[in-house]
Amino acid sequence: MTGSWEARGHGERLAGNARVVTRIVIVFLTLIVAVASAAVAVVSSPYWWFVALPLLFLGLLGGWDLAQRRHSVLRNYPVLGHARFLLERLRPELQQYFVERNFDGRPFDRDVRSIVYERAKGTDAEEPFGTERDVYRPGHEFLVPSMAPCPVPKSAPRVRIGGPDCDRPYDMALLNVSAMSFGSLSANAVLALNGGAAAGNFAQDTGEGGLSEYHLRPGGDLVWEIGTGYFGCRTRDGDFDAAQFADKAAHDHVKCVSLKLSQGAKPGIGGVLPGAKVNAEIARVRGVPEGRTVVSPPYHRVFSTPRELVRFIARMRELSGGKPAGFKLCVGSRRQFLAVCKAMLEEGTAPDFIVVDGAEGGTGAAPLEFADHMGTPLTEGLLTVHNALVGAGLRDRIKIGASGKIATGTDLVKRMVQGADYANAARAMMFAVGCIQAQRCHTNTCPTGVTTQDPHRARALDVRDKTPRVHRFQEATVAGALQIMASMGVTDPADLRPHMLHRRIDPLTERSYEELYEWLEPGQLLAEPPESWAADWAAADPDRFTV
C-alpha cells in the first residue's frame, strides 16, 4: 500500500514538473515569436522597438513567474496574475473613493473627514437635505434638545487641572492634541500641531517619544508624556532618570506631566522602533543609541503595585516643581482600577488627572488582534473610571480626559456626558494638517508628509499653511460643542447629565444613559457598595494588581 502511495506521489510530481516545463516552453516560444516579429518590424518601421521591447519584457516576466515558487497565483497565471496584486494594492483607495458611502467608512467615514477638512480650512460645514444616517438603527445615539435653549457662551470654558497637592494648576481647553510622538510624526507635523496649539491656547501631548525641539519651538502648551521607555529621561540601562526629568519638566512650555500605562489601540504590549528609523535627531531626542533598534517594554520599571504607581505619580509632580501629574490608560480590569483608588485613599495623595484612552483609538501600527479585540471601548472605560472615582470619594480632585475617535462637537459633548471633563484628539488633528487616511503610517511612505521621516515626503507639509488649520479646526469644534450644549439648555459642561444622551435599543425602543448604566453616588463604595460593585471592591488590593 505504501509503495502505491509513493508511486502515485512520484507520478504526480513528474506530471507537475511536466506542466511547468510545458509552460516555460510556451513562454519562450512566445518570446521567440515576439523577437522574430520585432526583427521583421525592423525592416518595415523605424519604431520597431515600441513593439519589441514590451513583448520582450512580458516574455521575460512570464518566464520568471513560472520559475519562482513564492506566489502560486503567478505560477498558474503568469503575467496576468500581477493584476491581482495591483488591485489588492489599490483596494484601500478604491474602497475609500468609489465604494464606501458618506457614513460607513472606517476608521473615520467621509462625513467626519469632510467636516474636519472644512473646519480646518475655515469653510462652511453645513449638510443640505437632512441626515443620511438611519436614526432607527439599533445603536444610534442622539442628544436631547431643550425647549428653552440657552445663549451660546462667548468664550469657551476651561478645566482647572490640579488637586490639593498641586502647586501650579493648569487650565485645560475642552479639546487638545492627543499623544503623538516625534518619530511617528514628521518634524513639520509636530511644528504645525504645536503652532496651532499656541495660536488657539490649547495643549499638545508630546507622546512617549521624548520632548523635541519641534514641540518647544512654536511655544504651545505641552503635556509631557513618559512611557515605558522613559525616552528623554532615561539612563543608559533604560531606567527612569529623575535628574533629566526634573530638568526638562521645568521648561515653561511643559504645563503637565503624564505617565503612559497603556494605549487604547494596543494595550498591554510595548513598541519597537527599527534601527533604520533611529537617525541622529531621533536618537538625541529619545536618549538612545543612533541606528540601533529601540524596544519599549510592555511594563514599567518604576512601579509594580497600585501603591507604587500612586507614589510615583506624586514623585513626578514633586520633580516637576508642583505641576499637574497624571496617567493615561486603556481600561481593562475594573478590579485593578479600584485597587489604584484604594491606594490613593491609603496614601493620601492622588493624580491630578487621568486620561482614558478607548480601544477605538488609533496608532501608527498595531497587531490586528489587539486593535480589534483588546481593551475597553471609550464609553465603558469612561463610565468605569468616572464611577470608581465618584464611589471612592475622589472625583472632585481628579479630572478625566477622554481620547479615542473624537473629531466633532457631538463627540466632545457625548464624552462629557459620559464622565469626561475634557478631550484629546489625534487622528482628527492629523486630518487638520492634511492626513487623507491612507493608512500607511507604519510604512514611512505617508503621501502627505504627516507620518514619515522621509525628508522629501515631509517637505510636502507646509507648516505655515497647516498651523492655522489646526487652530481653526479646534476652535470650530469647541464652538460646535458649545452650540450643541446651548441647544440642550446647558452653558457649563459640568451641568451635562446622563439623561441628556439617548441610545436606540431596537426600532421601537430608546433609553437614556441614566437608564442604561449604573451611576454611583459620591462615597458609595466607602459606605455600602452596590451589589454589582461589591465583589470587585472587596477583592481590590492596593498592594497588587489582581487579575
The mean pLDDT of 201-210, rounded to a whole number, is 95
Residue reference for cell 510636502: 460
The percentage of the chain sitting over the pLDDT mark of 90, rounded to a whole number, equals 61
What span, in angstroms and rounded, lies between the C-alpha atoms of 457 and 475?
28
Q: Which amino acid is at 416?
A: M
Residue reference for cell 497603556: 262
CA atoms within 13 A on the CB side of 350: 25
What span, in angstroms and rounded, lies between the C-alpha atoms of 205 and 336?
25
Given the DSSP bridges, would you call strands 353-357 and 159-161 parallel, antiparallel or unpaired?
unpaired
Residue ranges making up the domain that contains 267? 159-438+446-539
Q: Which of 131, 121, 231, 137 is nearest to 181 (CA)?
A: 231
Given the DSSP bridges, would you call strands 501-506 and 509-512 parallel, antiparallel or unpaired?
antiparallel
What span, in angstroms and rounded, lies between the C-alpha atoms of 373 and 201?
36
What span, in angstroms and rounded, lies between the C-alpha atoms of 74 and 82?
7
Assigned domain for 136 exists:
no
pLDDT at position 381 is 96
pLDDT at position 388 is 98
What span, in angstroms and rounded, lies between the C-alpha atoms of 224 and 156?
24
Given a cut of 90, whether residue 300 has pLDDT beyond it is yes
For residues 180 and 55, membership in a common domain is answered with no
For residues 75 and 197, membership in a common domain is answered with no
For residues 76 and 169, membership in a common domain is answered with no
**Collapsing DSSP states into helix, strand and coil, what is residue 220?**
coil
Q: How confident is the model at residue 20 (pLDDT cuts 50, 70, 90)?
A: low
C-alpha dihedral (287, 288, 293, 294), degrees to nearest 10: -50
Boundary-marking domain end, from 32, 48, 81: 81
Given a cut of 50, whether residue 10 has pLDDT beyond it is no
The mean pLDDT of 402-407, rounded to a whole number, is 94
Q: Could you tell me the CA-to-CA distances from 188 to 184, 215, 274, 473, 524 in Å, in that order? A: 12, 10, 21, 18, 49
For residues 374 and 486, membership in a common domain is answered with yes
Residue 508 neighbours by CB under 8 Å, 6+ apart: none
Please enumerate, as own/partner, the contacts of 120-129 that have beta carbons within 8 Å and a separation of 24 or more: 120/431, 120/432, 120/469, 120/470, 120/472, 120/473, 121/469, 121/472, 122/472, 122/476, 125/476
What cell numbers appear for 418 in the block? 459620559
Given a cut of 90, whether residue 17 has pLDDT beyond it is no
Q: How confident is the model at residue 371 (pLDDT cuts 50, 70, 90)?
A: confident
For residues 63 and 207, membership in a common domain is answered with no
Q: What is the pTM of this model?
A: 0.85
Boundary-marking domain end, from 81, 108, 134: 81
What span, in angstroms and rounded, lies between the C-alpha atoms of 522 and 396?
9
Q: Could you tell me the CA-to-CA distances from 326 to 275, 346, 489, 522 in Å, in that order? A: 31, 18, 32, 21
Assigned domain for 301 exists:
yes
Q: How confident is the model at residue 78 (pLDDT cuts 50, 70, 90)?
A: confident
What span, in angstroms and rounded, lies between the C-alpha atoms of 513 and 65?
59
Given a cut of 90, whether residue 96 has pLDDT beyond it is no
For residues 29 and 170, membership in a common domain is answered with no
Assigned domain for 298 exists:
yes
Given the DSSP bridges, would you call strands 399-403 and 159-161 parallel, antiparallel or unpaired?
unpaired
pLDDT at position 125 is 67
Q: Domain count of the chain? A: 2
Assigned domain for 480 exists:
yes
**Collapsing DSSP states into helix, strand and coil, what is residue 271?**
strand
Q: Note the pLDDT tens digit of each residue in 133-170.
A: 889 999 999 999 999 999 999 999 999 999 999 999 99
pLDDT at position 197 is 97
pLDDT at position 6 is 47
What span, in angstroms and rounded, lies between the C-alpha atoms of 265 and 366?
7
pLDDT at position 52 is 64
Q: What DSSP element (H or E) covers 252?
A: none
Confirm if 222 and 240 have CB atoms less than 8 A apart. Answer: no
Assigned domain for 453 exists:
yes
What span, in angstroms and rounded, lies between the C-alpha atoms of 523 and 518?
15
**Collapsing DSSP states into helix, strand and coil, what is residue 303?**
coil
Q: How confident is the model at residue 220 (pLDDT cuts 50, 70, 90)?
A: very high
CATH number (domain holding residue 191): 3.20.20.70
Question: Out of 101-105, 203-207, 224-228, 512-516, which region has the weakest mean confidence (pLDDT)?
Answer: 101-105
Q: Note the pLDDT tens digit of each residue in 430-484.
A: 999 998 888 888 788 888 999 888 888 999 999 999 999 999 999 999 999 999 9
What cell numbers appear for 248 in the block? 526638562
What span, in angstroms and rounded, lies between the C-alpha atoms of 406 and 150?
24
The mean pLDDT of 298-326, rounded to a whole number, is 97
For residues 359 and 247, membership in a common domain is answered with yes
Largest CA distance in the chain: 100
Assigned domain for 377 exists:
yes
Print burial letters for 296-314: b (CB count within 10 Å at least 16), e (below 16): beeebebbebbbbbbbbbb
Boundary-marking domain end, from 35, 57, 81: 81
Q: How confident is the model at residue 2 (pLDDT cuts 50, 70, 90)?
A: very low
Q: How confident is the model at residue 57 (pLDDT cuts 50, 70, 90)?
A: confident
For residues 334 and 461, membership in a common domain is answered with yes
Assigned domain for 56 exists:
yes
Assigned domain for 467 exists:
yes
